[in-house]
């Protein structure tokens, strides 16, 4: 399998001709709307496997809005933590976990919150559609959708439900325990396959051999790739890889963890670095792996019936009507057998919302807003797991001017995106002469600054300019110390 590491984490997104894009960027220089075009450029260039995932950033950002206020009939203590990966399961139980909320603090992003609590980007943004993913306001209540319905599949080995981009692992010697992890999967045109296979090989610190087509693309851009990318921070496979019986498909880590929870690969399955490390230790060659696509799942909890709905992936979008018709038939049969009344309007809302949150659908049951209002609050950690820390920028450091905008929120959004790349590019927003610059750094020397500026130009099609020591406008929090 040494030549089959062909999974491509960040495929191209053909949005507009490059000439048109460059002209549009030039026309919008120093305007807030330029960031939209920056994202288009990143999408077009993101087929290079060593580049960041940024096409998932929704622009323009939605208006901010908080979850319903917490129930005030009683004061609930904050939870120190909540189960996110490991759950106990009974033989006939198909739903695990619970909803919770956390209040944001300055500098938080939904991506940081998601990773800390074992969620993917898609999961947390769908559950919080009115919160800006990269620049939430301090004090907003973020819903943590940590309740999951298990897919309809044998509880053996690894089961991946592509519809909700989540893995369920059933340890062979622990029938009452289940582990679950968020996934990044193949994009449209490079879909992760369905079916039954096995783990055929395990590799720590894998090398990556870029396909010849990708090497030609990079060479044409003036950014050549080596024949083999060795283990290290630039390797898109991360530190661990599980080879599958499906030819050229892997379950692997990533050097771009904030792409987990999206359709961004050329078919391989990626996990957060900490999750693949844990899974790598638990699994063995020969373990079964089943990949399914189940966008609609139901489960009973006592006398309550839950429905979890997702939008079918694009490859199966044509089956949506048939899948929903089958679901409705199943619900009618369940209602008749149990002698209960289904709230069909709630079923319709749940299907329309398709946010992946298991929702009670019987008459007089609570809907998601009420469930969110009653959800317990989790204590905010001192630092989210893996959250990037931007080093202080001093007058003796090299830096990079990435862009400037009239809108502070847009500048902060781009700075957060850069900081969450893989490998990260430390960046911050700096106010200067009525505009807001995005400054990357610090860098040790001119060579390092030039390499990162080149990477930004390749990834974003932005004219990033290295700044020698003493020429950058320092952030206000640093200026007083200089």
Nearest to 265 by CA among 228, 234, 226, 236: 236
List the single range of 83-92, 266-275, 355-364 with lowest mean pLDDT. 266-275
β-bridge mates for residue 158, sequence order: 169, 289
**Distance from first CA to last CA of the chain, Å, rounded?**
55
Q: What is the mean pLDDT of residues 120-125?
A: 95
| pLDDT for the residue 18 | 33
| pLDDT for the residue 75 | 52
The C-alpha atoms of residue 234 and residue 210 are separated, in whole angstroms, by 12
List the single range of 112-121, 277-286, 312-321 with lowest mean pLDDT. 312-321
Q: What is the mean pLDDT of residues 316-342?
A: 94
Q: What is the mean pLDDT of residues 469-475?
A: 79
| pLDDT for the residue 262 | 80
Q: What is the mean pLDDT of residues 201-225?
A: 84
Q: What is the mean pLDDT of residues 310-333?
A: 92
Choice between 191 and 131, residue whose per-residue pLDDT is larger: 131
- pLDDT tier for residue 316 given thresholds of 50, 70 and 90: confident
| pLDDT for the residue 267 | 53
| pLDDT for the residue 4 | 33
Nearest to 446 by CA among 419, 467, 471: 467
Q: Is the per-residue pLDDT at 341 higher than 70?
A: yes
| pLDDT for the residue 70 | 55
Q: What is the mean pLDDT of residues 377-405?
A: 94
Instruction: Assess contact for 239 and 272: CB atoms under 8 A.
Output: no
- pLDDT tier for residue 246 given thresholds of 50, 70 and 90: confident
Q: Is the per-residue pLDDT at 345 higher than 70?
A: yes
Q: Express as a percent the part of the chain with pLDDT over 90.
A: 63
* Chain position carrying tokens 């007089």: 364
List the single range of 106-110, 180-184, 190-194, 254-258 with lowest mean pLDDT. 190-194
The C-alpha atoms of residue 242 and residue 235 are separated, in whole angstroms, by 15
Q: Is the per-residue pLDDT at 188 higher than 80?
A: no
Question: Does the model's pTM come out above 0.85?
Answer: no
Q: What is the pLDDT of residues 431-445, one digit of tens each?
A: 988 899 999 999 999
β-bridge mates for residue 432, sequence order: 435
Choice between 402 and 1, residue whose per-residue pLDDT is larger: 402
Q: Is the per-residue pLDDT at 79 higher than 90?
A: no
- pLDDT tier for residue 186 given thresholds of 50, 70 and 90: low
| pLDDT for the residue 194 | 85
- pLDDT tier for residue 77 given thresholds of 50, 70 and 90: low
| pLDDT for the residue 20 | 34
What positions carry a catalytic annotation? 252, 268
Q: Is the per-residue pLDDT at 19 higher than 70?
A: no
φ and ψ at residue 98, rounded to 5 degrees: -155, 160
Give 195's contacts (C-beta < 8 A, 6+ positions apart).
246, 290, 291
What's the mean per-residue pLDDT of the chain? 82
Q: Is the per-residue pLDDT at 187 higher than 80?
A: no
| pLDDT for the residue 138 | 96
Instruction: Assess contact for 178 and 195: CB atoms under 8 A.
Output: no
Instruction: Assess contact for 252 and 269: CB atoms under 8 A.
Output: yes
Nearest to 402 by CA among 366, 373, 364, 435: 435
Q: Is the per-residue pLDDT at 352 higher than 90?
A: yes
Q: How far is CA 323 from the centre of its chain?
A: 26
| pLDDT for the residue 220 | 82
Q: What is the pLDDT of residues 26-70, one digit of tens each?
A: 333 333 344 444 443 343 223 333 333 333 233 333 333 445 555
* Chain position carrying tokens 């609590």: 117
- Give a three-class secondary structure readout of the chain: CCCCCCCCCCCCCCCCCHHHHHHHHHHCCCCCCHHHHHHHHHHHHHHHCCCCCCCCCCCCCCCCCCCCCCCCCCCCCCECCCCCCEEECCCCCCEEEEEEEEECCCCCCHHHHHHHCCCCHHHHHHHCCCCCCCCCCCCCEEEEEEEEECCCCCCCEEEEEHHHCEEEEECCCCCCEEEEEECEEECCCCCCCCEEEEEEEEEECCCECCCHHHHHHHHHCCCCCCCCECCCCCCCCCCEEEEECCCCCEEECCCCHHHCCCEEECCCEECCHHHHHHHHHHCCCCCEEEEECCCEEEEEECCEEEEEEECCCHHHHHHHHHHHHHHHHHHHHHHHHHCCCECHHHHHHHHHHCECCCEECECCCCCHHHHHHHCCEECCCCCCCCCCCCCCCCCCCEEEEEEEECCHHHHHHHHHHHHCCCCCCCEEEEEECCEEEEEEEEECCHHHHHHHHHHHHHHHCCCCEEECCCCCCCCHHHHCCC
β-bridge mates for residue 434, sequence order: none
List the single range of 115-119, 217-221, 345-349 with lowest mean pLDDT. 217-221
Which pairs count as long-range contacts for 226-229, CB under 8 Å and 24+ apart, including other chains?
A: 229/50
| pLDDT for the residue 481 | 35
């Amino acid at each position: 399998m040494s030549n089959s590491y062909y999974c491509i984490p960040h495929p191209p997104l053909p949005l507009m001709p490059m000439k048109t894009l460059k002209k549009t960027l030039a026309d919008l220089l120093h305007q807030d709307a330029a960031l939209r075009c920056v994202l288009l450029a990143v999408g077009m260039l993101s087929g290079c496997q060593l580049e960041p995932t940024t096409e998932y950033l929704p622009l323009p950002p939605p208006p901010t809005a908080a979850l319903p206020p917490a129930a005030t009939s009683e004061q609930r203590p904050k939870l120190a933590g909540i189960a996110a990966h490991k759950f106990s399961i009974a033989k006939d139980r198909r739903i695990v976990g619970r909803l919770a909320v956390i209040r944001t603090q300055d500098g938080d992003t939904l991506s940081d919150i998601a990773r800390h609590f074992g969620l993917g980007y898609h999961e947390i943004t769908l559950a919080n559609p009115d919160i800006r993913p990269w620049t939430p306001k301090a004090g907003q209540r973020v819903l943590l959708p940590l309740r999951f319905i298990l897919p309809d599949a044998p509880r053996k080995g690894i089961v991946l439900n592509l519809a909700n981009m989540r893995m369920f692992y059933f340890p062979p010697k622990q029938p009452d325990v289940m582990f679950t992890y968020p996934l990044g999967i193949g994009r449209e045109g490079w879909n992760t396959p369905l079916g039954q296979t096995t783990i055929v090989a395990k590799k720590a610190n894998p090398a990556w051999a870029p396909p010849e087509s990708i090497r030609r693309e990079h060479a044409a851009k003036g950014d050549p790739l080596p024949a083999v990318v060795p283990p290290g921070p630039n390797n898109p496979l991360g530190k661990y890889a599980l080879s599958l019986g499906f030819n050229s498909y892997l379950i692997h880590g990533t050097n771009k963890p904030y792409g987990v929870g999206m359709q961004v690969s050329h078919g391989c399955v990626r996990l957060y670095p900490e999750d693949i490390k844990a899974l790598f230790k638990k699994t063995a060659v020969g373990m079964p792996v089943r990949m399914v696509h189940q966008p609609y799942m139901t489960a009973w909890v006592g006398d309550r019936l839950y429905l979890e709905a997702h939008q079918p992936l694009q490859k199966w979008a044509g089956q949506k009507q048939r899948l929903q018709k089958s679901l409705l038939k199943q619900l009618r049969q369940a209602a008749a057998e149990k002698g209960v009344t289904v709230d069909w309007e709630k079923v319709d809302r749940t299907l329309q919302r398709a946010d992946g949150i298991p929702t009670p659908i019987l008459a007089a049951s609570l809907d998601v807003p009420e469930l969110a209002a009653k959800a317990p609050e989790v204590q905010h950690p001192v630092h989210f797991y893996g959250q990037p820390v931007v080093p202080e920028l001093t007058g003796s450091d090299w830096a990079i001017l990435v862009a400037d905008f009239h809108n502070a929120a847009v500048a902060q959004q781009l700075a957060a995106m850069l900081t969450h790349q893989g490998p990260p590019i430390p960046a911050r927003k700096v106010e200067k002469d009525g505009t807001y610059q995005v400054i990357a750094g610090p860098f040790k020397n001119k060579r390092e600054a030039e390499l990162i500026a080149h990477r930004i130009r390749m990834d974003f099609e932005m004219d990033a300019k290295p700044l020698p020591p003493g020429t950058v406008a320092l952030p206000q929090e640093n200026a007083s110390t200089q």
